[in-house]
């Protein structure tokens, strides 16, 4: 990664001018000489990964260690108020807009859509002091984070909060803004109306078949048919009677779901797995095979890894705030850090991917978890680099970028590639010359040195 690219990410997501402007608008700053709000915001975001104490204490410690004017800790704790929450919320939307503007990387079977978006949610327990405002599903306080994750840029591109008791499905609306995109979602978002909306707005999707949905088989494009069957037979009946035997081969059929005028004709794919067959509904064309449809759905796991990063590295579920405004401000800060990390990884991926299709990747990609650890270790240094200008700033950003590529490269990218990495063509042993070829040129290294 180049220093210029790293600098662009930080200065775009956490820019001084924007932070200071909105801070004045929302009344966060009273005396600018005493309180450096841009430094405080960056400390809050980077402190999301700090291991000691609560997030507020970590943010304050990072802020003071960066050389900011000394202030009483009690005064800094009071900064996590309603005005600060509004400021962080606006900055979070700015970060998400930057993520949505990125060039997407959708190779192979992922191509053909503007981007694949994965939706999911995670419930975060918070202080019981706000249980009346943020009730959980039990005798505790909680808030639910609904996230939209971009496969094409490896980062969140949208999120919002809701009461923990609310069902996931009501928080996803497929409308004209989704046209041309692809949707990956678990069964919590499965509904006939949503699938009809996807077809109406030209949204490609892959979703698991719900057990209580009666799929009527009208045609079979792939799979063994052991007995004659009537068009419109229930899939469950065909499987139970072994008219359509599950013999370890993929199944590809056309089915009707729903009834009457509201019925919908879709493609049904059955993919064998070590735990049995998984059945998916999709509107992808048959140029994408059944196994490939299953691989696309497995990319949905990327949003789970994103939540794991939020909670494991950026401590999304460890907010110690005692007011709703401070809790939400800390959640926003954690999620901004997640966006920043994802975009850094994505920028590096674009810079280091092979120039032509089919070529082997030679440089390892960055690992998001390792990137987060590096940013944590360099929290104070990153704060200080914003104070530099000209050649000094360029030199320092180049040093940080070089150190990031060295310290955060994925050590297992060849031996344990993810489903997404396999689709990209990553992984596997690097090509090497045969020993015979090497013996023919025993002095090749010396000649090159000369």
Sign of CA dihedral 344, 391, 374, 44: negative
> Where is pLDDT greater, at 307 or 313?
307
Return the higher-pLDDT residue of 170 and 377.
Answer: 170
Band of pLDDT at residue 368, cut at 50, 70 and 90: very high
Q: Are residues 97 and 9 in the same domain?
A: yes
Q: Which of 275, 293, 311 is the last residue of a domain?
A: 293
Mean pLDDT, residues 165-188: 96
73 in any annotated domain:
yes
Q: Does residue 189 carry a pLDDT above 60?
A: yes
Res. 110 pLDDT band, cuts 50 70 90: very high
pLDDT tens-digit map of 66-97: 778 888 888 888 888 899 999 999 999 999 99
Q: Measuring CA to CA, which residue among 167, 190, 35, 22 is closest to residue 95? A: 22
- By C-alpha distance, which of 274, 222, 217, 258 is closest to 241? 217
Domain co-membership, 215 together with 283: yes
Quickly count: other Cβ atoms within 10 Å of residue 191's Cβ.
15
* Rounded Cα distance, 118 and 200, in Å: 19
The number of domains in the chain is: 2
pLDDT for 318: 65
| pLDDT tens readout for residues 382-430 | 888 988 999 999 999 999 999 999 999 999 999 999 899 999 888 765 5
Least confident window among 51-65, 155-169, 256-270, 311-325: 51-65
Q: Mean pLDDT across the stretch 139-146?
A: 93
> Does 433 score more than 70 pLDDT?
no
* 278 part of a folded domain: yes
On the question of pLDDT at 52 being above 80, the answer is no
Confidence (pLDDT) at 446? 30
- Radius of gyration, alpha carbons of the chain: 26
Residue 273 included in any domain? yes
pLDDT at 299 over 50: yes
Residue 145 has pLDDT above 80, yes or no: yes
Give burial (CB, 10 Å; 0-12/13-18/19+) of 382.
Answer: buried
Whether 265 maps to a domain, the answer reads yes
340 and 286 share one domain? no
Task: Tell me, yes or no, whether 289 and 327 share the same domain.
Answer: no
In a domain, 209, yes or no: yes
How confident is the model at residue 320, as a pLDDT?
63
pLDDT at position 112 over 90:
yes
Query: What integer is the mean pLDDT of 215-227?
Result: 92
Calculate the average pLDDT of the chain.
Answer: 88
Cβ atoms within 10 A of the Cβ of 412, count?
12
Inside any domain, residue 187:
no
Q: Are residues 255 and 340 located together in one domain of the fold? A: no
How confident is the model at residue 403, as a pLDDT?
A: 96
- For tokens 């609306």, the residue is 173
SS3 per-residue string spanning the chain: CCHHHHHHHHHHHCCHHHHHHHHHHHCCCCCCCCCCHHHHHHHHHHHHHCCCCCHHHHHHHHHHHCCCCCCCHHHHHCCCCHHHHHHHHHHHHHHHHHHHCCCCCCCHHHCCCCCEEEEEEEEEEECHHHCCCCECCCCCEEEEEEEEEECCCCEEEEEEEEECCCCHHHHCCCCHHHCCCEEEECHHHCCHHHHHHHHHCCCEEEEECCCCCCCEEEEEEECCCCCCCCCCEEHHHHHHCCCCCCCCCCEEEEEEECCHHHCEEEEEEEEEECCEEEEEEECCCCCCCHHHHHHHHHCCHHHHHHHHHHHHCCCHHHCCCCCHHHHHHHHHHHHHHHHHHHHHHHHHHHHHCCCCCCCCCCCCCECHHHHHHHHHHCHHHHHHHCCCCHHHHHHHHHHHHHHHHHHCECCCCCCCCCHHHHHHCCCCCCCCCCHHHHHHCCCHHHHHHC
Mean pLDDT of 293-320: 87
Range from 161-170, 329-338, 390-399, 418-427 carrying the lowest mean pLDDT: 418-427
Same domain, yes or no: 286 and 335: no
**264 and 351 belong to one structural domain:** no
pLDDT-derived band at 312, boundaries 50, 70, 90: confident
Report percent pLDDT > 70 for the chain.
91
Would you say residue 234 lies in a domain? yes
**How far is the C-alpha of 325 from the C-alpha of 256, rounded, in Å?**
48
The more confident residue out of 142 and 439 is: 142
> What's the whole-number mean pLDDT along residues 246-270?
93
Residue 34 CA to residue 406 CA, distance in Å, equals 37
Position 354 pLDDT exceeds 90: no
Q: What is the extent of the structural domain holding 34?
A: 3-103+321-407
In terms of domains, do 92 and 12 share one?
yes
- 193-206 per-position pLDDT tens digit: 999 999 999 999 99
Last residue of a domain, one of 293, 308, 338: 293
Within-domain flag for 50: yes
Q: Which residues pair with 279 in a beta bridge?
A: 270
- Note the pLDDT of residue 432: 45
């Amino acid at each position: 990664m180049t220093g210029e690219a790293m600098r662009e990410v930080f200065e775009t997501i956490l820019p001084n001018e924007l932070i200071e402007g909105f801070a004045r608008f929302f009344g966060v700053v009273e005396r600018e000489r005493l309180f450096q709000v841009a430094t405080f915001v960056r400390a809050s975001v980077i402190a999301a990964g700090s291991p000691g104490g609560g997030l507020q204490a970590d943010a304050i410690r990072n802020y003071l260690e960066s050389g900011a004017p000394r202030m009483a800790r009690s005064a800094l704790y009071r900064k996590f108020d309603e005005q600060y929450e509004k400021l962080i919320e606006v900055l979070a939307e700015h970060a998400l807009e930057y993520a949505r503007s990125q060039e997407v990387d959708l190779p192979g079977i992922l191509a053909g859509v503007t981007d694949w978006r994965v939706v999911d949610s995670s419930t975060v327990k918070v202080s019981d002091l706000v249980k009346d405002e943020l009730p959980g599903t039990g005798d505790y306080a909680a808030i639910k984070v609904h996230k939209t994750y971009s496969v094409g840029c490896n980062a969140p591109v949208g999120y919002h909060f809701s009461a923990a008791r609310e069902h996931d499905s009501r928080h996803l609306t497929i409308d004209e803004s989704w046209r041309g995109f692809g949707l990956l979602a678990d069964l919590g978002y499965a509904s006939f109306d949503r699938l009809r909306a996807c077809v109406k707005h030209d949204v490609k999707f892959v979703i698991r078949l719900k057990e209580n949905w009666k799929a009527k088989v009208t045609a079979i494009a792939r799979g063994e048919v052991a007995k004659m069957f009537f068009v419109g037979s229930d899939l469950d009946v065909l499987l139970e009677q072994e008219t359509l035997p599950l013999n370890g081969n993929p199944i590809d059929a056309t089915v009707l779901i729903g009834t009457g005028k509201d019925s919908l004709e879709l493609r049904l794919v059955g993919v064998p797995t070590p735990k049995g067959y998984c059945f998916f509904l999709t509107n992808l064309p048959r140029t994408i095979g059944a196994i490939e449809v299953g691989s696309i759905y497995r990319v949905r796991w990327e949003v789970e890894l994103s939540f794991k990063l939020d909670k494991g590295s950026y401590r999304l579920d460890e907010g110690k705030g005692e007011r709703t405004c401070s809790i939400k401000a800390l959640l926003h800060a954690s999620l901004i850090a997640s966006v920043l990390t994802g975009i850094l990884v994505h920028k590096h991926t674009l810079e280091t991917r092979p120039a032509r299709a089919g070529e082997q990747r030679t440089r390892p990609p960055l690992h998001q978890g390792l990137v987060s650890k590096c940013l944590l270790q360099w929290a104070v240094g990153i704060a200080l680099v914003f104070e530099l200008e000209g050649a000094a700033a360029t030199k320092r950003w180049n040093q940080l970028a070089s150190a990031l590529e060295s310290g955060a490269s994925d050590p297992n990218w060849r031996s344990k590639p993810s489903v997404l990495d396999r689709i990209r063509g990553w992984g596997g042993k690097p090509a090497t010359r045969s020993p015979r070829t090497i013996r023919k040129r025993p002095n090749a290294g010396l000649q090159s040195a000369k």
